[in-house]
Amino acid sequence: MIIDAHTHIFPPEFARDRVALTVRDPWFAATHGATSARMATAEELVASIDDAGIAAAVACGWPWRDNGLCRAHNEYLLDAARRWPGRILPLAIVAPTAGRAALAEAVRALDAGAVGIGELNADAQGFDFADPAPLAPLAALLTARGRPLLIHTSEPVGHQYPGKGTATPDRLLPFFQAQPELRVVAAHWGGGLPFYALMPEIAALTRNVWYDAAATTYLYDFAIFRHIAAIVGPERILWGTDYPLLRHRPFLRHTREVGLDDAALAAILGGNAQQVYSSQ
């Protein structure tokens, strides 16, 4: 069973209102200002995973700075999950700077079927993982519910790209230290964090962290699947594309060609996501 653990979908009206949204949200303007930046609907996501033989997709909205926009986006995700039960696994988004309103929205969305919260984005939403106190209530809620948090992370080195941001491994560690029981999925290979898991103290700090492969094509040689599996174990890797940024079929083909053994491939392509996103 193959699960894409990292996709983004938008309500059709958000695509129609793209220009107005770029005025309201600077991060969205940076990533989606160009009309060439794709915005997929739930229908398009389901058609794409069907075409590639993928059973289900973890679907994110967008890390809006405005908690009201988060809530509207969550409504669409939760409705899509009701329309395609078991195929669209919705992650709810909240704006951590909204404080109690963010927490209330997280509770509402989890009660309505969200499988976790994410993809939280420090730069987009105006917080800092290196200052973890404001995130504590949300982390406590997720820990109590046995639900994971998906966070955007990025590399401290390498090329610049729209949406890269500054949530680099050094900034993430204080958050993991403050929330040792919270299960976290660090997107985009944790910005390279798992390489440091060869340091015993980093391995200990990140024992509840999983890494997803979202956007690999733009960031790394696909050999990264083998290297990270050798360091942290294949059971800590989730296969995610960042659809619609990347297409399902070629991403799946490249993953199958990296030389993982069958057990590791099965875990990475779906088994791990099933475990992480089932309630614990």
- To Zn ion, the closest distance from the beta carbon of 123 in angstroms equals 10
- To Zn ion, the closest distance from the beta carbon of 214 in angstroms equals 6
Cβ distance to Zn ion smaller for residue 53 or 162? 162
Is the dihedral angle over the CA atoms 280, 114, 94, 165 positive or is it negative?
Answer: positive
Q: What share of the chain is helix, strand, coil (3-state, %, to 5)?
A: 50, 10, 35
Contact predicate 236/190, CB 8 Å: no
Quick note: the x/- pattern for Zn ion over 152-171, rule CB under 5 A, is x-------------------
- Contact segment (CB under 5 A) with Zn ion among 17-25, 26-34, 88-96, 150-158 equals 150-158
Dihedral, 148, 152, 153, 157 alpha carbons, nearest 10: 160
- Contact segment (CB under 5 A) with Zn ion among 125-133, 137-145, 180-188, 202-210 equals 180-188
Strands, E assignment, the chain: 3-8, 56-60, 88-92, 116-120, 149-151, 184-186, 209-212, 237-238
CA distance 176 to 191: 15
CA distance 227 to 120: 26
In the block, tokens 């504590």 appear at 136
Query: What is 88-148 written as a DSSP string?
Result: EEEEE---GGGTHHHHHHHHHHHHTT--EEEEE-HHHHT--TTS-GGGHHHHHHHHHHT--
Cβ distance to Zn ion smaller for residue 215 or 265? 215
Task: Single out the residue of 266, 181, 172, 254 nearest to residue 220, CA to CA.
Answer: 254
For 268, which DSSP code?
Answer: I
Residue 224 near Zn ion by CB under 5 A: no
Cβ distance to Zn ion smaller for residue 73 or 152? 152
Residue 184 near Zn ion by CB under 5 A: no
Residue 187 near Zn ion by CB under 5 A: yes
- To Zn ion, the closest distance from the beta carbon of 6 in angstroms equals 7
- To Zn ion, the closest distance from the beta carbon of 103 in angstroms equals 23
Cβ distance to Zn ion smaller for residue 209 or 264? 209
Cβ distance to Zn ion smaller for residue 152 or 183? 152
- To Zn ion, the closest distance from the beta carbon of 62 in angstroms equals 10
- To Zn ion, the closest distance from the beta carbon of 215 in angstroms equals 7
Cβ distance to Zn ion smaller for residue 152 or 171? 152
Cβ distance to Zn ion smaller for residue 69 or 185? 185
Cβ distance to Zn ion smaller for residue 187 or 268? 187
- Contact segment (CB under 5 A) with Zn ion among 45-53, 56-64, 146-154, 166-174 equals 146-154
In the block, tokens 């195929």 appear at 87
CA distance 44 to 117: 22
Q: Are strands 88-92 and 149-151 parallel, antiparallel or unpaired?
A: unpaired
> How many chain residues bind Zn ion (CB under 5 A)?
2
- To Zn ion, the closest distance from the beta carbon of 161 in angstroms equals 11
Output the residue with the shortest Cβ distance to Zn ion.
152
- To Zn ion, the closest distance from the beta carbon of 105 in angstroms equals 20
Where on the chain is the footprint of Zn ion (CB under 5 A)? 152, 187
